[in-house]
């Protein structure tokens, strides 16, 4: 652990960095899956979903950066190579042959739920450790991706 301006103990920071790395891995995997959907979508909802998926990807890229920077700010290292992500993500593999708009929406909605569950778990751990800054960061991510998940489900109604 690097020396940081954080007033959290080294053990607390180590625990939080580990959890943030896990969320970063899922976020990077989810970003790649969103882009896969964005590039491969076909169907009547293409015109609305194609740019929506791009909006999700851009927002997630910014959140991934913030999560990574929080881990480093707490004195840790970030592990984010494609091979590391592939080996450690909790998300299921994306169905690479999916083409229909509705199939992509369902696949992404399922993955958003998994991503959000991990974020909530990490936020709970940060709260238990008294790290209000990490809680605030993760609350922002959760709020945005709950809304994004709702957008997906509204497309299925």
Q: pLDDT tens, 4-33? A: 889 999 999 999 999 999 999 999 999 999
pLDDT, averaged across the chain: 96
pLDDT of residue 2: 83
Q: Is residue 97 assigned to a domain? A: yes
CATH of the domain at 50: 1.20.1260.10
Domain count, the chain: 1
Q: Is residue 143 assigned to a domain? A: yes
pLDDT of residue 100: 93
Report helix, strand or coil for 155: helix
Angle between helices 101-128 and 46-73 (to 10 degrees): 20
**What residues form DSSP beta bridges with 100?**
42
């Amino acid at each position: 652990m690097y020396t940081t301006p954080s007033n959290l103990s080294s053990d607390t920071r180590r625990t939080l960095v580990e959890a943030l790395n896990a969320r970063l891995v899922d976020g990077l995997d989810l970003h790649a899956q969103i882009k896969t959907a964005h590039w491969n979508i076909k169907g009547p909802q293409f015109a609305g979903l194609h740019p929506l998926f791009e909006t999700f990807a851009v927002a997630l890229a910014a959140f991934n950066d913030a999560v990574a920077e929080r881990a480093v700010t707490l004195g840790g290292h970030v592990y984010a190579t494609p091979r590391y992500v592939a080996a450690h993500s909790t998300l299921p593999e994306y169905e690479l042959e999916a083409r229909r708009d509705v199939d992509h929406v369902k696949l992404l909605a399922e993955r958003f739920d998994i991503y959000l569950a991990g974020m909530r778990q990490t936020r709970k751990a940060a709260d238990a450790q008294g790290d209000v800054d990490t809680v605030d960061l993760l609350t922002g991510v959760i709020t945005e991706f709950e809304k994004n998940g709702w957008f997906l489900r509204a497309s299925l109604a």
